[in-house]
Structure 1
C-alpha cells in the first residue's frame, strides 16, 4: 500500500491528476483494500477511479468498472449480509453506473432491488429510500417514459412533503422535476403552475440568486411561450 500511495503521489506530481496512468494506480489501491476485506475503503477508491475514468476517457470506458462494483457487492454480501446498509448502498451505486451508461432498464432493476432492501431495513420514510424512489423516477424520465416517471415523482413528492415538509429543498426539487415532466408531455399549463410554486418557495427559502432558484426561473421563462403557442 505504501508503494502504491508513493507512486500515486509521484505520478500526480509529474503527470498531473488527469493522466490515464493515474487510474491504474488508483485501481491498484482499491484492489488492495478489497483483498483485505476493507470494502468501505475499497469502494471510495473504486468510485474515485470511476469518476476519473469518465472525466478523462469518457463514460464508455466505465464499462470496465462494472466488475469492480460487483466484486465489492459480493464482499459486502458475504461479510455484512444482503440487507446491510453498506450492501444496499453498493447496490444503489451499481444502479447509478448503469444509469450513467444509458442502460436504464438495468439501472431500474438495481434501483428497485435497493428500494426493496431500504424499505425492509430502513423503512419507507428513510432518506435513502426517498433518494432511491427519486432515482427510479429519473431513470424512467431518461427513457422518455413520462407516465411511469410521473408515478414515481408523485410518490417522491408525497413522501417528501410528509417526511421533510413542503419547504424542504428536496421537496421543492421534486416539484421542479414534476413540472419538467409535464412540460415534456406538452402539458404546459400544469408545468407553469408547478414551476411558479417552486419558484416562489425557492425565492423565499433559498433566495432569488440561488442556482436552484435561477434554474426554476429559467424553466418558467421557457415554458410560458410554449404554453401561449399551444393555446393559440
Structure 2
C-alpha cells in the first residue's frame, strides 16, 4: 500500500517486543532487521536500509549454520541496497555470496537460484558489462523456463531482461 512510515512503525514495535522477549542473537531479530531494511530501501533511505540488513546478517552469522538459506536472503538484501547506492562491486560480491549459499541449499533449477542470477545480471548491466549481464540473465531465463509454468510473469520478465541487454551490446 506504499504506507512505509506505518509499516516501519509496526516493524520497529515488533523489534522492540522481540528484543525484550528473546536472546540478543535470536534469528527472529534478524528477520525484524531485514524487514526494517526492506522498508528503508523502499523509502530510498539506503544507508539506514544497509545498516538494518547488515545487523540482520551479524545476528544470523552467530545464530545460524554458515550455509543457512536465511543468510542467502540477507546477502541478497544487502546486494540490492548496494546496487541502488551505485556501489556495484559490493552489490556483486553480496549477490554472488547469496548465490553460493543457495547452490548448496537448493536443487539446481530452483527459482530462487534464478532470482540470484537475475540480480547478478542486473548489477553487471548497471556496470555496463553486458556480456556478463547476458550470461547471468540467460541463466535466469533458463531456470525459470524449467521450473515455472510458462504463464508465470517471471518467465516473461526474464526474457525481456535478456532482450534488453542484447540491444545494448
TM-score normalised to the size of structure 1?
A: 0.67
Show CA shifts across 1:139-196 (max 9, x none). 1111121111001011111111122132111111111111111111111111112222
What does residue 191 of structure 1 align with? 133
Cα distance in 1, alignment partners of residues 95 and 41 from structure 2: 17
Task: Tell me how many residue pairs correspond in the alignment.
Answer: 169
* 1:67–1:224 CA distance, 2 compared to 1 (3 A): closer
Whether the 8 Å contact between 2:117 and 2:136 is mirrored in structure 1 is: yes
> Does the 8 A contact of 1:112 with 1:136 survive in 2?
yes
| Alignment match, 2:95 | 153
Query: Which one of 106, 123, 133 corresponds to residue 48 of structure 2?
Result: 106
Moved beyond 6 Å, runs of 4+: none
Between the aligned partners of 2:7 and 2:158, the Cα distance in structure 1 is 35
Structure 1 contact 82–88 (Cα < 8 Å) conserved: no
Structure-1 residue corresponding to 2:159: 217
* Unaligned segments of structure 2, at least 5 residues: none
TM (normalized to structure 2)?
Answer: 0.90
Partner of 1:164: 106
Higher relative contact order (CA 8 A, sep 6+): 2
Aligned residue among 60, 72, 75 for 1:130: 72
Q: Does 1:93 align with 2:35?
A: yes
- Does 2:150 align with 1:201? no
Instruction: Tell me the distance in 2 between the aligned counterparts of 1:181 and 1:128.
Output: 21
Cα distance in 2 between the residues matched to 1:127 and 1:133:
10
Distance 2:38 2:137 in 1: 27
Q: Distance in 1 between matches of 2:102 and 2:14?
A: 31
Q: Give the C-alpha shift of residue 210 in structure 1.
A: 2.3
Is this contact kept in 2: 1:137–1:149, CA < 8 A?
yes
Task: Give how far 1:111 is off.
Answer: 0.7
CA RMSD of aligned residues (A): 1.8
